[in-house]
Every structure is written in C-alpha cells, then in structure tokens.
Structure 1
Amino acid sequence: MAETKKETKMRNEYKLYKEVEFEGKKYSSLDLDFDSLTGSDLEEATIEVSQMGDANTMMFTESSKLYQAAICARAAKVPVQLIRKLHPKDYTGVTIQAYAFLTN
C-alpha cells in the first residue's frame, strides 16, 4: 500500500508576545504564509543572509536563525529587519515555525 503524506497548510497568524513598532507601523501579529513561498524566495533568502555576513548559512541553511528569520520575513511579507527586532520569545516562536516548514 502506498503511503501518503498528510498535507499540512503552513499559514497562520502569529500573535506577538510583545507588540513591535517598525518604520512607524505597530505590529501585534504576523501573518506567516509559508505556502505562498517559492524556490526563488528560498534562494533570495540565502543570498540576503550571506550578504548580512552569516558565513554558516551556506553550509547549514535550515538551522541558521538568520536564514529562518529571512524566510519568516518573506512569508509575512515584511522586511527581515522587522523580524530581527522582535522580542526574543517572538523571534524564537516564528523561527521555529520556519524551521518546521523547511524540514517537513
């Protein structure tokens, strides 16, 4: 019998533990739509992170917090600088979701 993989939608509203203000706009949640991403988004995130100086990204992409933050930014359609400005609990929460998306 052929085994089928259960499809899981990777879109959710992530309610922030602590509201963050970025470029004059306040954020209390992020809409993380991982299903809207394409291979090009992943490639562009790799380039973006390597330009930020994370030398480990090329070898350990999925486990790089900075790469996960770049993926979250693309999924939420916000700049990566906003993700990096999140409270540590929120930063960890969204990057864990990116890791789960990348490794499932």
Structure 2
Amino acid sequence: MSEIVYPLKQSVTFEGKTYDNFVFDFDRLTGRDVKEAKKLFDAPGGRITPILAMDTDFAAFIAARAARVRPEVFDYIPATDFIAITQMAINFFLSSGFSKAEVKEMKLAKERADQKLIESYEH
C-alpha cells in the first residue's frame, strides 16, 4: 500500500483548517504509531474491543496517524467518507499479517455483529 489521496465528498473545516482531501500513508506507520493510537483510543472510557482491527473507532485513530491529522477531524466529515476511510484502515490491518483463518473469523464476527445491528433497527 502506498500513499493514498482520498478526496472528501465535501470539504470540512476543523480548528481553522479546511480539508478537501486526506493523504494516507499506512506504510510509514510504526509499532509506536499503533501503540499511541491504542493508548488514545482506550483513554476515554477504558473500553475493551475483542477484535481491535475490526473496530471502526480504532480504525479512525490509525487512519488519522496515517494522514497526520487529529482523529477528531473525522468526526466532522460525511458518514460515507468516514466509512470509506475506516474501511481503508481495516483493510490495512487485514493485509498486514493476519492469517487467513483469523481474517475469516474476523469477517464472520463482523457479519454477525452487522446482522445484529440490522435486526435491532428492524424492531
């Protein structure tokens, strides 16, 4: 994976800076970046995520590190952009050393969670 320029559907202004796109470089991330992102991610509520690599909130933290922006900027972008960006980060995790069995297990867990979410909206 090399540098990815992601154009936003609509620009967003955060802390006085306007963003029309983000440039992601997942390949430049280090173990320290992942550890720092996890520390920031865990800090507010001490939440536990069984499959961290599939968590969109954590993926947003990693994507922010890859784009060299504060994670909070993603709170203000359109949902379609947020989903696409976090999916890029999740894909990065999945392609970065998980065995095929682990990937399959994570995908099944995500599908089950998605199905439960859909069912909760139907009731």
Determine the structure 1 residue equivalent to 2:58.
67
Q: Which runs of 5+ in 2 are unaligned?
A: 96-123
Judging by fraction of residues, say which structure has more helix.
2
Judging by fraction of residues, say which structure has more strand.
1
- CA distance in 2 between partners of 1:101 and 1:54 (Å): 24
2:74 to 80, 83, 92: 83
Count of aligned positions: 95
- Identify if the C-alpha distance between structure 1 residues 97 and 43 changes in structure 2 by more than 3 Å, giving closer, same or farther: same
Q: What is the correspondence of 1:1-104 to structure 2 with a 5 Å cutoff?
A: 9-53=1-45, 55-57=47-49, 59-104=50-95
- CA distance in 1 between partners of 2:48 and 2:10 (Å): 29
Q: What SS does the aligned partner of 2:4 have?
A: strand
Q: TM-score, normalised by structure 2?
A: 0.73
Name the larger-Rg structure.
2
What RMSD in Å do the two structures reach over aligned CA positions? 1.2
- CA distance in 2 between partners of 1:98 and 1:48 (Å): 16
Q: TM-score, normalised by structure 1?
A: 0.85
- CA distance in 1 between partners of 2:13 and 2:33 (Å): 25
CA deviations on 1:4-31 (whole Å, 9 max, x unpaired) are xxxxx23200000121100111101000
- Identify if the C-alpha distance between structure 1 residues 63 and 12 changes in structure 2 by more than 3 Å, giving closer, same or farther: same
Identical aligned pairs, as a percentage?
A: 32
